[in-house]
Structure 1
Amino acid sequence: MTASRMEDANEVLTGFLLKLIDLGLPIDRAASAIEALHSEYAGIGRFWTREEGTIVRYLPHGDRREAVYQQSPFAHVSRTGEWLFLNLDETPDSLFAIVPELKEVGYRHYLTIPINFTNGAKNAISFATRSAEGFNSRSLTILRLILPSFALVTELRATSNRLDEVLRIYVGDDPHRAILGGTIQRGQVTRIRSAILFADMREYTRISSTLSPESAVELLNNYFDCLVPPIEDEGGEVLKYLGDGLLAIVRDKGDDTGGAAQSALSAATKALRRVEAANNEGRFPVPIEVGIALHHGDAAYGNVGSGQRLDFTVIGRDVNLASRIADLNKTLSEPLLMSKPFVEHLWGNPSTLGMHQVQGFTEPVEVYRP
């Protein structure tokens, strides 16, 4: 199997190292650090030893990680663009933090090599050996011949992963697969039969009017931290963030529409409890209230726009109805409302709150509370 066809990035590194060992290089430990474009981590580190194989670590964002990185051999070779050779028997422990760690477990020589991508990303790979001879001229010649191919494969994989991750982060799991699969023509529509959850923060405009942009973003992030994990824990997915609101679905699984509805209801009640706990802990500038509407129907995704600028957005009657029911949360002073099509899929007996007119719909709709 060639590296370009390996699905698992760990296989690429492991296969590369085993090939080097077969060629006579005395590698006992290796590590790579590759920059990532991800909301939750700055890069991916892979650590390989003969004893344990490959271990993956996600390198966090933040000043603390950056301060540690800047004092590392990886940062050194990224700055200089040169290979770094260390005979650990002759290297002071104070040179890099990793030096005493390597000595303690018996490594004798350490080599760090920069890997620069064409997009400017600075990456590196290191090798360590317990061999007293270290990496001789033959080993270094082999590395100089083979490393460009490894770097190319690594960059191709990293570029593909960046595209995949960025699309997933911004449009969600299913839409990003559809886009990458070729659903990019204007007017194309995909229907998803599901339980639909629409959540909206009450009085956001008033609350945020006294906040700086940074504080308003922090408010929204803390707020969504209350809503999104319960949705994902129940097998749902967020399709769209809409300012201070969000639209999420729990897909029907065949004829088991009751399972999707029950999961959406569980997600909604858990989210409301998390908001209440956050209010009690003082995590918001002022206590907030949330209205959640639950409906069952089609969440339709469509390509809308003009020319070369399209938006893969959520459209359709059922999505609009869920949004309008959410408007009733404040009118009825209810944190959680459900439509009749939704409660028809539930196992319990919710309480009806009667028929209500909603904006944009001719016929009144019946709404329920748990």
Structure 2
Amino acid sequence: MEQIRSVARPQVLEDGNWPARRTEILDWLVQRTSDERFIDVIFQQLCDRLVGAGLPLARATLHFRIENPQWFGARIIWREGIGQPEVTTFEHGTLDTVGYAGSPIAAVHDGQDEVRWDLKAGDADAAGSSLFGQLREEGLTDYVAWPLRHTLGRRHVVTFASDAPRGFSDEDLVLLFDLLPVLSLVSEIRLKNRLARTLLETYVGPHASEAILAGAITRGSGSTVAAAIMVCDLREFTHISDLWPRDDVIELLNSYFDAICEPIERHGGEILKFIGDGLLAIFPLDRPSACHDLLRSVAEARQAMDRLNAERLAEDRDELHYGVGIHVGDVMYGNIGSRRRLDFTVIGPAVNAASRLENLTKLVKRPVLVSKAFADMAECRLGLEDLGSYPLRGFGEEMQVFAFRDDWIVTADSA
């Protein structure tokens, strides 16, 4: 595949003096973007200002490599007259695709300091990247891509394209080139802010991450929250982990947690903790639908586990069994731990009760148990079977316990 090349740059860009010319747009980017959190908004405003200043800009993109468990990278595309930029994410493995390997973005990632292409020329369709032919079909005439240099040599990419008959002038390129150092700094700050938020959301959940970012980082800080509480645990995991290869155990856990967790997140629950093969999740009662949301989550999780077990049986592997305990009450929600290592979690008798109910599922041989307090609040007795009262370790009085009827999974949406 032909290597992407650069055409000659104006001499002023080769001299390395920055900025070549101070402009109102450069001043705006330096001084008046500090209150905006999102880089896509800043990029839209920047491109709109460039057009307003007379630059023949028709299309511009930002390409970021991001730290995210689901996505490898993100692209922001601005087009003249479209309004809000289009944001696209790319899954891990994108670097291995043919589309990326021959692209100008790959060339800049690999160390090229500029990709410039005259889209008016006849070789646009025969270029190393199919992108140039597509841009030409859209009526664009000139294209330039530059690196945005972040800390420790990490490279991201910005591109600009014109639809003017003669493309970008030397003066246009100087104006754009002068923006790169500040745009690099502005984008890195927003990207690191987003990274911090993403990491917190990944490891402590969206609600806890908001509290931490808002300043709840002192040991003992927190609040009392009324919540529906769910504790889930996989059965016979110790036996499985002793006998199975490590990678198979990790794959099993990930499949199991996908089945259980995706419905919880979809219905507004917050997963606070994974403990080996177990998890703790809450549904704060500040939403009137919290209890029903938890029930829907459990119903969908049971369906997902049924599908997972069907796949495992088809592969001649054992079914997975689990226990779920559900209770409701006030919990202390906040920072607990040592002076230097904190955990943002919930504690309290209501959490202990949910855990004891989960453990009781082993005795009564029912996968999901619900306390009377939760059943009363959710008003869902039609789908539940009264199992009577049981003593729970650490609680003075016996607790009345309910289990889902066999057909409850079908009728959960009407709970």
CA 1:219–1:44: 2 relative to 1, 3 Å: same
The CA deviation string for residues 118-173 of structure 1, in whole angstroms up to 9 with x for no partner, is 14432001111222322221112111222222222111111111111111111012
2:376 is matched with which residue: 344, 356, 370? 344
Query: Which residue is equivalent to 1:307?
Result: 339
User: SS state of the match for residue 209, structure 1?
Assistant: helix
Alignment of 1:353-368 (within 5 A): 353-368=387-402
Does structure 2 retain, via aligned residues, the 8 Å contact 1:24–1:139? no
Q: What residue is the counterpart of 1:205 in the other structure?
A: 238
1:236 is aligned to 2:266: no
What residue number does 1:159 align with? 192
Tell whether the 8 Å contact from 1:265 to 1:294 is kept in structure 2 after alignment: no
1:294 positional shift: 0.8
Higher deviation after alignment, 171-180 or 5-14: 5-14
The answer for the alignment partner of 1:95 in structure 2 is 128
Partner residue of 2:50?
20
8 Å CA contact 1:35, 1:43 repeated in 2: yes
Is 1:135 aligned with 2:165? no
**Correspondence for 2:108:** 77
Q: Is the 8 A contact 1:240 1:314 kept in 2?
A: no
Larger mean CA deviation between 78-87 and 315-324 belongs to 78-87
Report if aligned partners of 2:103, 2:128 keep a CA contact under 8 Å in 1: no
Of residues 314, 318, 342, the one that matches 1:286 is 318
Contact 1:199-1:292 within 8 A present in 2 as well? yes
| One-letter amino acid of the structure 1 residue matched with residue 242 of structure 2 | S
Identity value in percent: 32
8 Å CA contact retained: 2:37, 2:190: no
Q: Which amino acid aligns with 1:363?
A: E
For structure 2, the residue ranges without an aligned partner over 5 or more in a row are 1-27, 405-415
The residue correspondences of 1:10-89 to structure 2 (distance < 5 A) are 10-53=40-83, 54-62=85-93, 68-88=99-119, 89=121
Give 3-state SS (helix, strand or coil) of 1:37's partner.
coil
Distance 1:34 1:130, change over 3 A: same
The equivalent of 2:203 in structure 1 is 170
Structure 2 residue aligned with 1:113, among 136, 146, 168?
Answer: 146
Secondary structure in structure 1 of the residue aligned to 2:261:
helix
Cα separation, 2, equivalents of 1:163 and 1:45: 19
Please give the TM-score of this superposition, normalised by the length of structure 1. 0.92
Mean CA deviation greater in 233-242 or 283-292: 283-292
Give yes or no for the alignment of 1:250 onto 2:280.
no
Q: Which amino acid aligns with 1:61?
A: H
**Counterpart residue identity of residue 219, structure 1:** L
The one-letter code of the counterpart of 1:40 is: Q
1:64 positional shift: 5.8
Please name the residue that 2:357 is paired with: 325
In the alignment, the residues of structure 1 paired with residue 300 and residue 328 of structure 2 have an alpha-carbon distance, to the nearest angstrom, of: 19
**1:213 to partner: Cα distance:** 2.3
TM-fit CA distance, 1:81: 4.5
Q: Does 1:191 align with 2:221?
A: no
1:334 to 355, 359, 366: 366
**Structure 2 Cα separation of the partners of residues 142 and 94 of structure 1:** 27
| Structure 1 counterpart SS, 2:377 | coil
CA contact (8 A) 1:272 1:290 kept: no
Distance 2:301 2:335 in 1: 30
User: Does the Cα contact within 8 Å between 1:196 and 1:299 map onto a contact in 2?
Assistant: no
Q: CA RMSD in A?
A: 2.2
Q: Is the 2:73–2:89 contact (alpha carbons within 8 Å) kept by the matching residues of 1? A: yes
SS at 1:128's partner residue? strand
**Is residue 71–residue 92 contact of structure 2 (8 Å, CA) maintained in 1?**
yes
Secondary structure in 1 aligned to 2:216?
coil
Give, in whole Å, the separation in 1 of the partners of 2:358 and 2:198: 31
